[in-house]
Amino acid sequence: MINVIYCLAFEHDIRLVMLAAFICIAGSLTYVQLLRQCLHSTGLARVSWMGISAAALCTTVWCTHFISMLSFQAHVPVVLDPVLTLVSLIAPMFGFFIATAIVIYGRTPLTAMIGNLTLGCSMAALHYVGMLAYRVDGIVDWDMSYVAASVILSCLFTAASGWAFNRFSNLRFNLPSVALYALGVISLHFTGMSAMEITSLSISDTPMDAETFMALSIATAFAGMLVIALGAATFFLDQDQKKAGYEKLLRMAMTDTLTGLANRNAYMDDLNGRIEKSERKGSRLAVIGIDMDRFKDINDSHGHKAGDAALIALANSFKAQCHSGELVARLGGDEFAATKEYSTEEDLEDFLSRLQSALNTRLQVNETTLHLSGSIGVACYPDDGKDSDTLRNNADLAMYRAKIHASNTICFYTASMDEEARQKRELAASLAQALENNELELYYQLQASVKSSKISGLEALLRWTHPKLGPISPSVFIPIAEESGLIIRLGEWVLRRACEDAAGWDTQDKVAVNMSALQLTQVELPRIVHQTLLETGLPPHRLEIELTETAILEDRDRSLHVLRQIKALGVKVALDDFGTGYSSLEILRSFPFDKIKLDRFFMSEIEVSRESRALVRSVLSLGKSLSIPVLAEGVESAAQLSILKEEGCDEIQGFLLGRPERMDELIRLRSIGADMDRLINTADPLTESGNLKRIYSG
């Protein structure tokens, strides 16, 4: 040890030793960083990185060795063998490459050890081949114990640095590993130099002078630094590119590709951040849910391209209306959301009115101008919720409320909305229970032909008596069943029960069954209908499915496909509630309906309003031109019936004939197959079953 220190301090030019040490540390640092790069890449890229690492380390060790060797003051003339000097640079490169490969591909402690020992041996080989090229004018004696010590030291340090490489892999710059690699190189060189004993003979070769040695050292250092810097530059360039790539990916993952607005992930991240900030600052935050009106219609009637264009137009007008610190995101479909920190109510109102005017965008699609509109719901932190989920949920509740009122409305969340939602959830659960326990009932309402006065069919209407709340109207529980998806099972139950009942009647009257939009989207609906008919023995022509335009337009193509299959079974299809919704001629043309049911809304007006009567007339003539019979719903008075007779209506249904009744009640009263005029003469439209009871019990 003392020998090594003596050799280092007194037999070397200390300035050059410092230069060599600097190169050694810089090179080791580069090698460690490049080694990481090898680990994080694959295939050809990994092999290339291994090549660059091996070249950088080899250059580092060689330059350290060469400069240190030149700094050695041998006090005798020295010459360098050019061939061996070159061999000492090139040959170990392979050793370094193989050693690096063992470390990278092995990935076990044992292979890491073997790889690093190979590295240590390659360094030693480089040093001693280099020393062979160093020819002095004298006798060189080698102390083999120092030679052995130098090899062991270099191997020990490289093995330790390999361990440190894994142990401190979490550090941005793994300095422990770098220091150990550098120590390996330095200890090898100076212990190796201590092994050399020179006795001067002074023969004729021209010795190299100190200036030449210095110049050569600086040139070597320069060339070495160049290679190391190149390695480092490659590493940083790659890191930079990876960072840019990562940032791009992150941006893509956070942006909605269609509109360029923030997407759901970005919105929720941002919202959570803002909630934390508001909590710290004690400030207020508005969470806003935005939903476009009639987006489905735009898609259905103008195509998906127009739908996309509408979303983009809306997004652009949101962007134009937003100030800094305000965020609008697209969460999916036609669902948007916004957030705004605010200090005064005016602040929030200003933002909301900007959002509202952004919503009122016009869009030119081919020849038509579409007027976009939407509904806005607002929930505020901290009053309406303290976490993002609650706030989003409550903003949505408010938005749904806004949607019910009219378009372009802003609704603020109130606690009663929560209560309503809770009640709905409870009702949905009890309804599912009622279905399970067979507590639901079917009532039937008569339909009659105006011309023949004969009963032509019966519409099945679902009835539910809640154990605590009493009878609940289907207008209340059907939408709840639709929302919860229960309508599928409920609808199947209704269909089966109606078919079973009708199959047991003495007459050949049709039974009409209502179907919801969700049922219509089921591809297996035709199979279910077919199977129910087979199992109940009802002839297909006695079943009539009733659906509304809205149900068909939910998913127009699929609905029409399902309907065609059902019609192919021989089942009749009626268009329900006609005249209230879109009343689109297109729908009537695209499917051969067996009946149009004129909505009962017209009956309440027909006696007093000329307009209503004109509308009824036009629907009736439309039916005639398409050869589709029209049934008027909600006929309550003889006056209404006589107008309908005048206008040439085909069938009627309503309290005038009777209210919906239980099947056993209808059978008991023998009202099925009864004559319309007899029913009308004694009907009492004020009670649900009084009219029929009086006819048959009297």
The answer to whether the peptide bond before residue 539 is cis (omega within 30 degrees of 0) is: no
- Coil, strand or helix: which one is 576? strand
| Least separation in angstroms between CB 534 and ligand C2E | 21
**Residue 106 binds which one of ligand C2E, Ca ion, none, with CB within 5 to 8 A depending on kind?**
none
**Residue 131 binds which one of ligand C2E, Ca ion, none, with CB within 5 to 8 A depending on kind?**
none
Cβ neighbours of residue 184 under 8 Å, at least 6 residues apart? 120, 123, 153, 154, 155, 156, 157, 158, 161
**Residue 478 binds which one of Ca ion, ligand C2E, none, with CB within 5 to 8 A depending on kind?**
ligand C2E
Binding-site ranges for Ca ion (CB under 5 A)? 514, 546, 576-577, 633
**In 10 A of CB 170, how many CB atoms?**
6
Binding-site ranges for ligand C2E (CB under 6 A)? 445, 461-462, 473-475, 478, 491, 494, 514-516, 576-577, 600, 634-636, 654-655, 660
Give the C-alpha distances (Å, rounded to integers) separating 278 from 172, 287, 294. Answer: 34, 12, 35
| Least separation in angstroms between CB 448 and ligand C2E | 12
Cβ nearer to ligand C2E, comparing 22 with 582: 582
CA dihedral 91, 93, 96, 100 (to 10 degrees): -140
Cβ nearer to ligand C2E, comparing 92 with 660: 660
| Least separation in angstroms between CB 468 and Ca ion | 28
Cβ neighbours of residue 265 under 8 Å, at least 6 residues apart? 253, 254
Query: What's 542's DSSP letter?
Result: G
**Residue 26 binds which one of Ca ion, ligand C2E, none, with CB within 5 to 8 A depending on kind?**
none
| Least separation in angstroms between CB 506 and ligand C2E | 24
**Residue 179 binds which one of Ca ion, ligand C2E, none, with CB within 5 to 8 A depending on kind?**
none
Cβ nearer to Ca ion, comparing 369 with 475: 475
Per-residue three-class SS string for 424-477: HHHHHHHHHHHHHCCCEEEEEEEEEECCCCEEEEEEEEEEEEECCCEEECHHHH
The pair of structure tokens assigned to 363 is 């869009």
| Least separation in angstroms between CB 333 and ligand C2E | 25
Rounded Cα distance, 263 and 418, in Å: 27
| Least separation in angstroms between CB 537 and Ca ion | 24
Cβ nearer to ligand C2E, comparing 165 with 655: 655
Cβ nearer to ligand C2E, comparing 312 with 472: 472
The residue number whose beta carbon is nearest to ligand C2E equals 654
Cβ nearer to ligand C2E, comparing 382 with 685: 685
| Least separation in angstroms between CB 516 and ligand C2E | 4
| Least separation in angstroms between CB 577 and Ca ion | 4
Backbone angles phi, psi at 439, to 5 degrees: -95, 5
**Residue 217 binds which one of Ca ion, ligand C2E, none, with CB within 5 to 8 A depending on kind?**
none
Cβ neighbours of residue 650 under 8 Å, at least 6 residues apart? 449, 450, 451, 623, 629, 630, 631
**Residue 51 binds which one of Ca ion, ligand C2E, none, with CB within 5 to 8 A depending on kind?**
none
Cβ nearer to Ca ion, comparing 13 with 509: 509
Cβ nearer to Ca ion, comparing 633 with 650: 633
**Residue 494 binds which one of ligand C2E, Ca ion, none, with CB within 5 to 8 A depending on kind?**
ligand C2E
DSSP state letters, 205-225: SPPPPHHHHHHHHHHHHHHHH
Rounded Cα distance, 583 and 647, in Å: 19
Cβ neighbours of residue 122 under 8 Å, at least 6 residues apart? 92, 95, 96, 99
